[in-house]
Amino acid sequence: MTYPTLLPSGSTPLQKALEQTAAGLLDIDVPLRDEWSPENCPIEDLPWLVWGLSIDIWKSSWSEQQKRDAAADAIASQRSKGTRASLRTVLDRFDQLIEIVEWHQDRETLDPFSFRLELPLLAQSDVFYDEALVGEIMRDIAQVKPARAHMLAVYRVRAEAQAWLVSAAQAGGLARLDSLADQTSALDPVWDSFLQTRDGEPILAREGDYLVVNPGPLNRTAIQRVERVA
């Protein structure tokens, strides 16, 4: 097929051939509008679409509809990134009963520009919080939280004396306070025994144990207590 030419009559054979080749590309059906549409994009191309939209949280385990919903909400998510609303959106994917406590709501135990995630009691929620799930929550929250804010996840349990205890968890695991721990602080002092990242998260060894500052019997007990999920 010969396409109409826009070249002058003195054009070289090479120029004419390149023009005809380029014109033929117009006949190739490339659904660009569909490729950029969360609803119509082929499922195998969705990862490339969300990469182009700069989505912060993406899981291959999601259903197709969840992936398309995430792509459709990409722009709105970026607009609210770093706000309490963005944290709420992420937490609701796991459990709507998870509460957010910001530092100005608990000045006694939280440092400025930090916040706490309070996981519900086992009797209140059908979600079972193990180390893997808590770690996933912390990682997802880290993608949308304000850059200056430090986060802490806590798990509340009721003691036999009906006194409320607060237990602390970082991305590495879940720790429960007992009668020997500091019950006036949201942070279990056992975390001070662990080597931590710049963000205050404990570092796991290859074997799965937390790296401690001064290994010893006391720290080994602390590690075992942290590994025991409340």
**What would the pLDDT profile of 179-230 be if each residue is shown by its tens digit?**
333 333 334 445 555 555 555 555 555 555 555 555 444 433 333 333 333 3
Examine residue 11 and state whether it is found in any structural domain, yes or no.
no
Q: Where is pLDDT greater, at 230 or 149?
A: 149
Examine residue 35 and state whether it is found in any structural domain, yes or no.
yes
Examine residue 110 and state whether it is found in any structural domain, yes or no.
yes
pTM of the predicted model as reported, rounded to 2 decimal places? 0.54
Residues spanned by the domain of 218: 84-230
| Residue 174 banded pLDDT, cuts 50, 70, 90 | very low
Same domain, 171 and 214: yes
Residue 111: its pLDDT value, please? Answer: 85
Residue 46: its pLDDT value, please? Answer: 92
Same domain, 117 and 211: yes
Same domain, 113 and 52: no
Same domain, 109 and 188: yes
Residue 136 has pLDDT above 80, yes or no: yes
Same domain, 47 and 88: no
Same domain, 66 and 91: no
Same domain, 47 and 105: no
Interacting residues of 115 by C-beta distance below 8 A, sequence separation 6+ = 87, 100, 101, 102, 103, 145, 149, 150, 151, 152
Examine residue 74 and state whether it is found in any structural domain, yes or no.
yes
58 burial class (0-12, 13-18, 19+ CB within 10 angstroms)?
Answer: middle
Residue 72: its pLDDT value, please? Answer: 93
Residue 164 has pLDDT above 70, yes or no: no
Examine residue 104 and state whether it is found in any structural domain, yes or no.
yes
Q: What domain count does the chain have?
A: 2
Examine residue 5 and state whether it is found in any structural domain, yes or no.
no
What pLDDT digit, counting tens, does each position of 48-90 carry?
Answer: 999 999 888 888 888 999 999 999 998 888 888 888 999 999 9
Residue 139 has pLDDT above 80, yes or no: yes
Examine residue 23 and state whether it is found in any structural domain, yes or no.
no
| Residue 131 banded pLDDT, cuts 50, 70, 90 | confident
Examine residue 151 and state whether it is found in any structural domain, yes or no.
yes
Same domain, 106 and 190: yes
- Tell me the C-alpha distance between 170 and 64, whole Å: 31
**DSSP-assigned letter for residue 124:** T
Same domain, 103 and 65: no
Residue 189: its pLDDT value, please? Answer: 44
| Residue 43 banded pLDDT, cuts 50, 70, 90 | very high
Same domain, 107 and 207: yes
Same domain, 89 and 196: yes
Over residues 132-152, mean pLDDT:
84
- Tell me the C-alpha distance between 105 and 113, whole Å: 11
Same domain, 74 and 170: no
Residue 49: its pLDDT value, please? Answer: 93
